[in-house]
Amino acid sequence: MHCDPMKNLKEIRDRRGLSQRRLAQQAGVSFRALQMIEAGQTDVRLSSLTRIASALGTPGAVVRSELERLLAADPDSVVAVSRKINADGEASWKIWLFEFVDAFRRAPRKELVIAPPSPETRARVSALLASTVEALCVERGVQRPWWCGGVGVLPEPWFVAGIENLKATALAESPTYFRKRNIFVLENFLARV
- What per-residue confidence (pLDDT) applies to 1? 35
Q: What is the pLDDT of residues 114-129, one digit of tens each?
A: 989 988 899 999 999 9
> C-alpha distances in angstroms, 6 versus 9, 13, 102, 171?
5, 11, 32, 40
Q: Compute the CA torsion angle 105, 101, 184, 189 (nearest 10 deg).
A: -70
All domains of the chain in start order, with CATH:
5-71 (1.10.260.40), 73-184 (no CATH)
- What per-residue confidence (pLDDT) applies to 69? 61
Q: What is the pLDDT of residues 33-71, one digit of tens each?
A: 888 888 877 777 778 888 888 888 887 777 776 666 655
- What per-residue confidence (pLDDT) applies to 68? 62
- What per-residue confidence (pLDDT) applies to 97? 96
User: Long-range contacts: 107-114, Cβ < 8 Å, 24+?
Assistant: 108/136, 108/137, 108/140, 108/141, 108/142, 109/142, 110/142, 110/143, 110/145, 111/74, 111/77, 112/74, 112/76, 112/77, 112/78, 113/77, 113/78, 113/137, 113/142, 113/145, 114/77, 114/145
| pTM for this model (two decimals) | 0.66
pLDDT band at 5 (very low <50, low <70, confident <90, very high): low
